[in-house]
Structure formats: C-alpha cells, structure tokens
A and B are shown apart, each in its own frame.
Chain A
Amino acid sequence: MLQFLFRRLAVLIPTFVGVSIIAFAFIRLLPGDPVQMMAGERVISPERHAELSQQLGFDRPIVVQYLDYLGGIVTGDFGNSIVTKRPVLSEFLALFPATLELSICAILLAVIIGVPLGIIAAVKRGSWFDQGVMGVALVGYSMPIFWWGLLLIIFFSGVLQLTPVSGRISLMYFFPPVTGFMLIDSLLSGQSGAFKSALSHLILPTVVLATIPLAVIARQTRSAMLEVLSEDYVRTARAKGLPPRRVIGLHALRNALIPVVTTIGLQIGVLMAGAILTETIFSWPGIGKWMVDSVFRRDYTVVQGGLLLIAIIIMVVNLLVDVLYGLINPRIRY
C-alpha cells in the first residue's frame, strides 16, 4: 500500500515539474516587458528598470530563474500579488475554504441524487422513468451553467424572493472564521439565524455547480449498472434467493461503483472549471472568482500561483481517487 503510494507519487513528479514549467513560462510568454509587468508600474526609468530586473532576478540565466522559482514553490513561496503585495499562498489559503465548501456540497449533492437515479433508471431500463431521467441528465450535461445560474437567480431570488443573490452569508452576521466552512462556523458562532443565512447563500451555487457532475454521474451509474446487471454473479445472487434490494443494492452496486468512483474523481476538474463560472455569477469569494478577477486586474503572479496551486490540488485528488479505487476493487492489490 505504502509502496503503491510512493510509486504513484513518483509518477506525479514529472507532471508536477511540467506544470511548474508551464506556470513559470506563463509570465515570460505574456506580451510586453515582464519586469514592468511585475513591478506594476506604468512608466519606468531605465535605471529603475535595471534595478528591478536585478531585484526580481530577470537578469540571470533562465534555468537559474526556474530553479529559483521551483525552490520557492517547494518552500511555499509562490511570490507576492502585484496588486495587493500580499503573498499569493496566504491569499489562496484564505479563499480556498470557500471553494472547498462549495465543491464538497456540490459533489455530495451530485452523488446523493445522481447515483440512486442511475440505479433506478438501469433497473427499470426502457421505462418512462428511465427515459425521463436520461433526458433530463442529457439536458443537464448540455447546460451552460453560467446561464443556468442566472435563470435560478431570476426565479428564486427575483420572482420568489427566497434566496440571496451573492456572497456567503448576510452582512449582519460576523464571526471569526474557525474552520473556514461557513456552515460550520455559523453553527459554532451560536448566533441565531446565522446558519440559515449561510445555507440560503450556499444553496443556489451548489445546485448550479452540481448540475454537470450530477448528469454525468447519473449517466455513468446507469450504464455501469446495466453492464453489471447482466453479469453471471448477479444471477448467482438471485439464485441464492436474496431479495432484489440486496441483489441490486449490494451485489450489483458494489461492482458498478468501481467505474463510478473513477468518474466522480474526474469530475474534480469539471468542478474547478465550474467554480470559476459559479463563483463569478454568485460573487462567491473563492479561488475561482479570485482567478478571474486576477486575470482582469493583470495580477499575473496571482494567476501564475493560482494556476499551479489548482493543478497541484487536482493531482492530489486524482491520487486519492486512485487509492480509493484500489480500496473498493479487491482485484487490485498493491
């Protein structure tokens, strides 16, 4: 098991190096003078330029610059924001819990609804239920979620006046972050109504972000389930006189979940892309919105650092999914 983990980590190293090269190259590929850009100053005298260039290390050979950059990353130094001058990593860490909270809620929603829908659709294949669910899933899969979010705002916030339009919690509540998860923090604060406020802020972004993963998971569960249901061991389970609940819910599902777990893992990338759009629509203060804002503010060190950090997170999640895959599939032993 440990050996397997190390082997997987070893495979990740070249990918990590490649990702860091891309992030490193990013600033140097931008049109215009990198020194001027990093300094964030419009007009620069030649002396000041030379001074800055030396200060930022642009006068040294490119390989040395890269190794310097890599060394910084390994020690947790992702540079400072051009705009706020604060370290990129601390900005990231401050905003990441918001995205994490949103993503966890979304993937939970997608799994809790998508997996049962897929199972029932497979068991009743060809029925109205099956056709209906798969039709809706295809619509969800084809959904431009930025528009979907706006529609939900029009309906639930505009017409019904049920949910707030933006942010994580109403401004009337304030408490120091403990876990960074607003749902938990609001409960810990003990202020009445705080949890309800946090929840009502969370619900629409969660639905929007969950839409595509939900559709994909439902479709994948159905097809995995259909494949498994025609397997011999399902027939054996029925031949033992087990009730359908146990045949489908244990014998078939356990096998169908193996490909579904892979699919869920692959949704993390989709989730991150979705977070960019969802957070922009709902002004959710997470890293998706942070990245978009930074692109617009030309805060390139933030874009560079954020790009790398998000790639690292996705790589780590994929590694965890691999481990989980091994745990639920007894045919794989490390």
Chain B
Amino acid sequence: MALLEIKNLCLTFDTVGGKLKAVDGISLHVDRGEVLAIVGESGSGKSVSMLAVMGLLPWTATITADYIRFDGKDILNLSPSDRRKIIGKDIGMIFQEPMASLNPCFTVGFQIEETLRQHTDLDRAARRRRAVELFRMVGIPNTEDRLSSYPHQMSGGQCQRVMIAMALACNPKLLIADEPTTALDVTIQKQILELLVNLQIETGMAMILITHDMGVVAETADRVAVQYKGRRVEESDVLSLFESPKHPYTRALLSALPENATGDRLPSVSDYFLEEEAVTGGAA
C-alpha cells in the first residue's frame, strides 16, 4: 500500500488580479522507503502541492482533491489538531532557505527539542539526549556546543543540517525536501544531498525530493514525476525516464543538461521546446 497518495489535487490562489490556478489535477503516490523526485521549473506547482499536503498554504489558497491519503488516513478530512499530530511527526519537511527557515530568536537546540516536546513524552533530559544524537546523525561537530547556538551563528549548510535534524526528530515515515540545496554553495550542495540519501537508507523512510536539477534526480531518486505549468506531464522510474522520455518537455529538460553543451553556450529548455507543444504533446 502506498504511504502517500494524492488524487486529482487542484490549487487556486486569490490574487488582486483574480483567481490563479497553480496546480491543476495532479495525482501522485509514494511507497514506503521510496525516493520520489518531482522536477519542473519555477512556478510549475511542485512546492505548493507539497505545502498543501503539509497544510502550510496561506489562507488565499483553495485546495480541492479527490483525496490526499497518508498512511491510510485522508488528511483533508482530518481536523486541524488531528492533522498536527501527523505534521512534524510522521511527515517532516525541509525548505529551500535554511537560514531563513530557522527562527533567529531561539537557539537551534530549543527549536529541535520543541518538536520532540510537541510529539513525544520524552522528559527534558531525554529530549536533550535525542537532540545530541540527531546532531551527530546529521554531522554537526561539537554537538553540545552547537545546540546552544543561534541560527545566525551558523553557516547555511549547517542550518540545513539543523533543519534535517529537526525534520527527523520523531523518526518520520516521509521526508519532503523542497529544493534543499538550491540556496547553498556547490560544494555544500553535494554534502547535503549525500547526507539526505544516506539518512534515507539508514532510517528507511520515504522521501520526496523537489528539485529542478536533473543531475540530482539521477543520483538520488527511484521514481520521477515531471511537472509543467501545474500539471504532471510524465511519471516513470528514473532509468526509463532518462532512457526514453515520452513528453516533449521532459525531452527538452534532459537535452538542456550542461553536459550537452556545444561550443561555449549552455543549452536551455526553450532551445528544444515550444509552449504550444505542451498542448499537443499529450499533457492532458
């Protein structure tokens, strides 16, 4: 049975200029212990659909779906307080901007222990022990010391490690990583990605990795869903996607990898793909 199943998710935002449809009928599923990558360009609705699962969208958003089922329960029908028992415990999420995602007014130790306090019965000392253990897991040195640091005293990569530790605090069944490396230095990107892959194998949790980097997809994912303009245009396992992409947008995306550069110019998606093709290319 799938761990997370989304059927026909639609999202609209109220804006000054009227209603804006961000996601139009997306369905996807993730099995236990599986890594699903969602790729697509900015504005293709990859992040917002995951935020919808977490219930983190602003009030201007309207969510409709046949169902969003997690671990057999339909999240959409849960009361907010029942939903909060899953969010942060069984589903963890990390974000694009690790520095901005940590509260500047509290120590990172406090912020991790807060999650444990919310979802577990551990006492103060046990929470501290667990925080130390988590910090070791995500590879932060001088653990005891760093727990009492404030986010602004840490680097971006370290902040992302803290975020991962926080998301893993309650041994989640699913980790959603929303472009976790985009805002980081290239060398750090690699480390964080490796860390995520290792932790996924170690803990056996499922992971959804949102990215626009096909290289990352190739290295990490079991399965890939390609989104374009709020729709899913293709979904398959990694091997067959890279070998025989079906949708023209996917083909364009793959052709635009830097490895395919000719001369001194980097290729871009628009070199290979025109918007009209999305309509004729069998998107619906």
Contacts and interface: CB of A to CB of B under 8 A. Distances in A.
Interface in A315-334: 328-331
Interface string B77-97: 000010011111100110101
Interface string A226-246: 000001110111111111000
B152 A240 contact: no
Given A233-B100, A331-B150, A331-B152, A240 B105 contact: no
A254 B106 contact: yes
A279 to B, nearest CB: 38
Contacts of B101: 232-233, 235-236
A223 interface: no
A189 interface: no
A70 B241 CA distance: 84
A201 interface: no
Per DSSP, chain A at the interface is: helix
A241 B85 contact: yes
B54 A242 contact: no
Given A254-B105, A329-B105, A330-B105, A241 B88 contact: yes
Contacts of B104: 233, 255, 330-331
Interface in B48-94: 54-56, 81, 84-89, 92-93
A251 interface: yes
Interface residues of B, number: 29
B54 A232 contact: no
Contacts of A328: 105
A238 B51 CA distance: 11
A240 B118 contact: yes
Given A231-B100, A331-B150, A331-B152, A241 B87 contact: yes
A328 B115 CA distance: 23
B102 interface: yes
B103 interface: yes
A255 B105 contact: yes
A238 B56 CA distance: 7
Contacts of B119: 241
Contacts of A329: 105
Given A240-B114, A330-B150, A232 B85 contact: no
Contacts of B103: 233, 236-237, 251, 254-255
A238 B59 CA distance: 14
Interface in A157-179: none
A241 B100 contact: no
Nearest to B93: A239
B105 A232 contact: no
Nearest to B103: A233
Interface in A187-245: 231-233, 235-243
B60 to A, nearest CB: 10
B100 A239 contact: no
B166 interface: yes
A330 B106 CA distance: 8
A239 B88 contact: yes
Given A233-B103, A242-B114, A255-B104, 13 more contacts: A233-B100, A233-B101, A236-B95, A239-B56, A240-B88, A240-B166, A241-B88, A241-B115, A241-B118, A242-B118, A330-B105, A330-B150, A331-B150
27 contacts: A232-B97, A232-B100, A232-B101, A233-B104, A236-B101, A236-B166, A238-B55, A238-B87, A239-B56, A239-B87, A239-B88, A240-B88, A240-B118, A241-B84, A241-B87, A241-B88, A241-B118, A242-B88, A242-B114, A243-B84, A251-B103, A251-B106, A254-B103, A254-B105, A255-B103, A255-B104, A328-B105
